[in-house]
A and B are shown apart, each in its own frame.
Chain A
Amino acid sequence: MKILVADDDRVWAELLKTTFQEEGFDVLTAFDGMQATMHAFQSFPDLIVLDVQMPGGTGLDALRRLKMSTKTVKIPVLVVSGSEDAALPGRLEAMGAAAFVRKPASQREVVQAARALL
């Protein structure tokens, strides 16, 4: 199983990557929205863990692009964000995100949420 972790917070991305690897997943990382989209179209992961607030095209832009293409539309996207915007989860769902986890969250919680989608 291949997971793409996209987050500009590289410390968090490293922690998450390590936790997923311990659980036996292959992990790719991206640190901005553009890179996330590129990786998704190149390697077609089984799941994408996506942050919202990222430079170089936000997570929302990446999500929109992924859901517009028939090649990537079926990849479940788990959005992880520290945003306090109460409308965000609903908006993400309408855009096609499979699940939402609000930060602060532990890496285990994210891995659990990911497993539930696979």
Chain B
Amino acid sequence: VLVVDDDPVARELACGVLASLGHAVETVPTSAAARAACRERWFDLVLLDLRLPDADGLATATDIRRGGSQNAEVRLVALTGGTPDGDPTRCLAAGMDAYLAKPLRRDVLGHTLDAFFGAPPAAGDETPVDVGALLEEVRGDMALLRRLVVLFHEQSARLLADGRRAIDRGDRRALDGAAHALKSVIGHFSTGVPFEHAREVEALARGGQLGEVRERWRLLEHDVEAIGATLDTLAAEPRR
């Protein structure tokens, strides 16, 4: 999320609220900095104060929309302090998706985000993909991300099948190869639980513990499925 506001207190508040909702936040104080950030990086959401020192929020919104940047379709939310240019019709005409009154309230922002992106996963449901790291790795290049997602599906399906065949045949060498390669593929998208599973399986395979591996392989199949589902969501075209 990118927060654009010249008021440091408002920025801090927005940061706190967004962080408590589990989002990664970047803040900038000016319209120029916001436009620069939008040219360089990919955001899910931009919260835009309507009164900025160097340009008004509406013009900034129009600029971000028309900039031909990767953020042309980003969700834009106006932050209004009850000013006349906080008029909803003008906000929408300038390309905003929503407008919220300041001071920002956690529950209101939460509802707005849910409306945009769907309800967050239930507490305790760790996301299987390091989304932040992945977006950084592809540097906001969504076409590259989509290619990687296709490769993930192809590679993981092939390696899971190879591994399963190797387990059934008792072929340690083939199992070792499949487990090692699967760990690499998973490692590009997850350093959390799924990657740990893959590492354990690789170690077990290397140690020739086929019985143990058989059990763990099933876990890994679930992990791969979860990663795949998350990646599909991430790579989907932005919803309008």
Binds B, one of A3-11, A34-42, A67-75, A85-93: A3-11
A12 touching B188, Cβ below 8 Å: yes
Binds A, one of B31-39, B75-83, B151-159, B163-171: B151-159
Contacts of A8 in B (CB 8 A): 181
B148 touching A14, Cβ below 8 Å: yes
Interface size band for B: 10 to 19
Q: Say whether chain B's binding surface is mostly helix, strand, loop, or mixed.
A: helix
B155 touching A11, Cβ below 8 Å: yes
B148 touching A15, Cβ below 8 Å: yes
A12 touching B147, Cβ below 8 Å: no
Interface size band for A: 10 to 19
Which of A1-54 touch B at CB < 8 Å?
8-12, 14-15, 18, 53
Complexed CA–CA distance, A8 and B183 (Å): 12
Contacts of A53 in B (CB 8 A): 177, 180
User: A15 touches which one: B137, B154, B155, B187 (CB < 8 A)?
Assistant: B137
Complexed CA–CA distance, A11 and B155 (Å): 9
Shortest beta-carbon distance from B109 to chain A in Å: 34
Contacts of B152 in A (CB 8 A): 11
Check: B185 CB closer than 8 A to any chain A CB: yes
Complexed CA–CA distance, A55 and B180 (Å): 12
Show 9 residue pairs from A and B whose CB-CB distance is below 8 angstroms, ordered by the A residue. A10-B154, A11-B151, A11-B185, A12-B184, A14-B144, A14-B148, A14-B151, A15-B137, A82-B184
